């Protein structure tokens, strides 16, 4: 009757021995891996650094920090230990989608180079015909309507058109001045002279001279000066100090 008990005891002993042998194997594997890791780290350190570390005792701290920072597995069959302080990303890339490339036509050589003169010649009809005709139509609508919201929208649109027309006229004048200057400089370069490039301040000065000559030819110089004087006076009037009311004068 005691034979089965001996058999069970023997089987438990053999299981315990097998488990202890496996644990010994895992500990031996981990110790050998740690030794190999230490040997690799020591191989990368110079002899001078080793002497300094031994002299001040910092090699012990280095070993301790390296062991703390080491993130690995005690056994290859175990999962990797990851710090719980680092949050896990909510998004996971399941499908490798192609990266979307956004191109700006202003800075891409594939779209060609911008021809400013050609662009101005092609779309010159907008500033010569389309916008002035739209401005006249808006003025007619402004006289007919009485709705304050509609009046506000029409006035904003008219002021925007005026701004665009002024800007384009300034740009066209500057382009004409620059083209004339380049033509003169090419002729001078043929005779061996060095080219002179106009600054923006010089272009602005010549533009004002041309504007003055046009006003003088049409006889509108005085009216233009008076209009500008009233405009500047209205600006200065905003910053004029007012005399505080005195109670003694009342």
Q: What distance in Å separates the CA atoms of residue 31 and residue 74, rounded to the nearest whole number?
A: 9
| In the predicted structure, residue 177 carries a pLDDT above the cut 70 | yes
How do residues 83-125 score in pLDDT, each as one tens digit? 788 787 777 777 777 888 888 887 887 778 878 788 888 888 9
Percent of the chain residues past pLDDT 70, beyond the cut: 73
Residue 57's pLDDT band, with cuts at 50, 70 and 90, is low
Own/partner pairs for 212-218, CB < 8 Å, 24+ apart?
none
| In the predicted structure, residue 170 carries a pLDDT above the cut 70 | yes
Q: What is the pLDDT of residue 17?
A: 47
DSSP for 144-177, written as a single string: H---HHHHHHHHHHHHHHHHHHHHHHHHHHHHHH
Q: What distance in Å separates the CA atoms of residue 178 and residue 94, rounded to the nearest whole number?
A: 58
How do residues 20-37 score in pLDDT, each as one tens digit? 555 555 555 566 777 777
Closest CA to 177 of 124, 213, 134: 213
Residue 184's pLDDT band, with cuts at 50, 70 and 90, is confident
Torsion angle in degrees (nearest 10) through CA of 138, 144, 149, 151 = 50
Say if CB 161 and CB 135 are below 8 A apart: yes
Per-position b or e across 116-142, b if 16+ CB within 10 A of its CB: eeeeeeeeeeebeeebeeebeeeeeee
| In the predicted structure, residue 243 carries a pLDDT above the cut 70 | no
Q: What distance in Å separates the CA atoms of residue 47 and residue 60, rounded to the nearest whole number?
A: 16
Name the DSSP class of 21. Answer: H
Mean per-residue pLDDT over the chain, rounded: 76
Q: What distance in Å separates the CA atoms of residue 207 and residue 170, rounded to the nearest whole number?
A: 8
Q: What distance in Å separates the CA atoms of residue 14 and residue 177, rounded to the nearest whole number?
A: 104
Tokens 């904003």, located at residue? 156
| In the predicted structure, residue 60 carries a pLDDT above the cut 70 | no
Q: What distance in Å separates the CA atoms of residue 35 and residue 28, rounded to the nearest whole number?
A: 10
Q: 8-17, 49-58, 61-70, 106-115: which has the highest mean pLDDT? A: 106-115
Q: What distance in Å separates the CA atoms of residue 250 and residue 247, rounded to the nearest whole number?
A: 6
Neighbours of 192 (CB within 10 A): 6
Say if CB 53 and CB 62 are below 8 A apart: yes
Q: 60-64, 157-161, 238-242: which has the highest mean pLDDT? A: 157-161
- 67: tokens are 């062991």
Say if CB 135 and CB 158 are below 8 A apart: yes
| In the predicted structure, residue 235 carries a pLDDT above the cut 90 | no
């Amino acid at each position: 009757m005691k034979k089965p008990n001996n058999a069970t005891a023997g089987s438990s002993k053999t299981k315990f021995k097998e488990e202890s042998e496996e644990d010994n194997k895992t500990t031996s594997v981990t110790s050998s891996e740690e030794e190999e890791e230490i040997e690799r780290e020591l191989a990368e350190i110079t002899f001078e650094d080793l002497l300094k570390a031994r002299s001040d005792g910092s090699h012990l701290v280095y070993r301790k920090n390296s062991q703390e920072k080491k993130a690995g597995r005690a056994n290859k069959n175990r999962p990797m230990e990851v710090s719980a302080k680092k949050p896990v990303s909510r998004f996971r890339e399941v499908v490798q989608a192609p990266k979307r490339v956004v191109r700006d036509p202003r800075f891409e050589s594939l779209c060609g180079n911008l021809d400013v003169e050609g662009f101005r010649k092609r779309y010159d009809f907008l500033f010569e015909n389309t916008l002035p005709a739209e401005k006249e139509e808006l003025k007619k609508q402004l006289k007919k309507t009485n709705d304050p919201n509609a009046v506000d929208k029409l006035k904003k649109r008219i002021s925007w058109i005026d701004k665009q027309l002024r800007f384009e006229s300034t740009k066209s004048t500057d382009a004409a001045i620059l083209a004339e200057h380049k033509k003169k400089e090419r002729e001078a370069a043929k005779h061996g002279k060095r080219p002179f490039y106009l600054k923006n301040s010089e272009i602005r000065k010549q533009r004002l001279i041309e504007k003055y000559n046009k006003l003088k030819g049409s006889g509108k110089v005085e009216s233009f000066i008076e209009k500008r004087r009233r405009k500047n006076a209205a600006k200065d009037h905003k910053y004029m100090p007012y005399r505080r009311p005195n109670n003694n004068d009342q």
